[in-house]
Amino acid sequence: MNKETTQLVETLLASPQKAVIIGHKNPDGDAIGSCLGLSFFLKKIGHSAAVVMPNDFPDFLKWLPGVEEVVIYEKETEKSTQLIEEASLIFTLDFNSLERVGELQQILESADAKFIMIDHHQQPADYAVATFSDVTMSSTSEMVYHFMDALGHSEILSEAIAINLYTGIMTDTGSFRFSSTSPTTHRVAAKLIEAGADSALINQNVYDTNSPDRMKLLGLALSNLHILPEYRTAYITMSQKELDAHNFKKGDTEGFVNYALSLQGVVFAVIFIENKQESIVKISFRSKGEFSVNAFARNHYSGGGHNNAAGGKSSQSLNKTISEFISILPRYKDELAHA
């Protein structure tokens, strides 16, 4: 954080606050880890803190310290609303537009509390009184560590804080293999390990708890892999019928798109996931090198994210969405050829 933002946050935290910490819809490891890590930190320095998520999150994150206290808006609407209405401070983590919280958006827009944003996505909205935004950071969880450090409290790292922040960093960096992983990221991870984050156990809890249904779904996803060598692109499709046949649960398709990106010669990978309940096709984009999937998602699919990892959606059918995607690629042929 810069000096001005740090001083403002110090002023806001100078007296006990009723803080609510919000993550984005369909929370991932970074959203959950950063929010829980921050909640433990705020409690340690004398504030009350509650974590509210718009909807539920994958089972492979439900072992994290403090997870039993997370309030899910979809399940506990009245409690979530009351917490937000009574809050004096609202932290928004791992998103930078209130559109990312689904039905919580209207409640947050009506809140009387002051907002503090901590996020690493591009083009932040201007709704917070204090904004800590850095698109070069590996994860929001890493940013929470720097937030603590800027306030002069990095020495009070607890095991619970360390486990949550390490999990967020690990998942958002693809186990430290994405280009956003910096030397500083590794230094922060080392400090978290020293504070009690068992890296081997965290890795096991996140990645080695697959159900038979999820493994079979992965096999199906790989059989649905299509390669377009002229565009250095690969994509995977998942229909609602295929998901239902494998007892799909939230988080089951996490990381599938990375298998497409791992192909030799591929620099652009996409997964299209049909969601009949919301009448949309959810899309995840990944890239290597200079090709910006953030720009691609913003230009064509009402989405965004990072240069090499972004998301979007389509209101068309799965087949029409795929056809449209293929029709767009020729515009990017030169850019993909030199990515």
Cα separation, 46 vs 70, whole angstroms: 19
115 strand-pairing partners: 90
pLDDT of the chain, 339 residues: tens digit per residue: 899 999 999 999 999 999 999 999 999 999 999 999 999 999 999 999 999 999 999 999 999 999 999 999 999 999 999 999 999 999 999 999 999 999 999 999 999 999 999 999 988 999 999 999 999 999 999 999 999 999 999 889 999 999 999 999 999 999 998 889 999 999 999 999 999 999 999 999 999 999 999 999 999 999 999 999 999 999 999 999 999 999 999 899 999 999 999 999 999 999 999 999 899 999 999 999 999 999 999 999 999 888 999 999 999 999 999 999 999 999 999 999 998
DSSP string, 74-89: TT-HHHHHHHHHH-SE
Q: Span 212-337: which CATH code?
A: 3.10.310.30
- What are the boundaries of each domain within the chain? 3-207, 212-337
- What is the radius of gyration, based on Cα positions, of the chain? 20
* Distances from the Cα of 245 to the Cα of 59, 216, 226, 278, angstroms: 19, 10, 21, 18
Cβ-based neighbours of 210, under 8 Å, separated by 6 or more:
none
Residue with token string 């984050």: 197
92 strand-pairing partners: 22, 117
3-class SS at 328? Answer: helix
Q: Is 264 exposed, middle or buried (0-12, 13-18, 19+ CB in 10 A)?
A: exposed
CATH architecture of 3-207: Alpha-Beta Complex (3.90)
